[in-house]
Amino acid sequence: MSKGNHILSLWLFSVLMVFLGTGNAYAQLSSFKDNLFPVEKLTPRDSVLTLKVGDSAPDFTLPAVEGGKITLSQYRGKKNVVISFVPAAWTPVCSDQWPGYNLAHDLFVKNDAILLGITVDNTPTLYSWNKQMCNPGEKLWFPVLSDFYPHGEVASKYGVLRSNGVSERALFVINKKGVIRYIDVHDINQRPPLNVLATALEKLNQ
pLDDT in tens, 13-69: 444 444 444 345 444 556 677 778 888 898 999 999 999 999 999 999 999 999 999
* pLDDT for residue 37: 81
> Between 10 and 96, where is the model more confident?
96
Catalytic residue of the set 16, 20, 93, 94: 94
Instruction: Please give the model's pTM, rounded to 2 decimal places.
Output: 0.86
The structural domains of the chain, ordered by start, are 3-203 (3.40.30.10)
pLDDT for residue 191 is more than 50: yes
Spatial contact of 179 and 56, defined as CB atoms under 8 Å apart: yes
Spatial contact of 118 and 85, defined as CB atoms under 8 Å apart: yes
pLDDT in tens, 155-183: 999 999 999 999 999 999 999 999 999 99
What does 93-144 look like in DSSP terms, one character per residue?
HHHHHHHHHHHTHHHHHHTTEEEEEEESS-HHHHHHHHHHHSPTT---SS-E
Spatial contact of 133 and 93, defined as CB atoms under 8 Å apart: no
Spatial contact of 151 and 22, defined as CB atoms under 8 Å apart: no
Other CB atoms within 10 Å distance of the CB of residue 55: 14
Other CB atoms within 10 Å distance of the CB of residue 109: 11
For residues 107-113, give the mean pLDDT: 96
Spatial contact of 87 and 188, defined as CB atoms under 8 Å apart: yes
Active site residue 94: yes
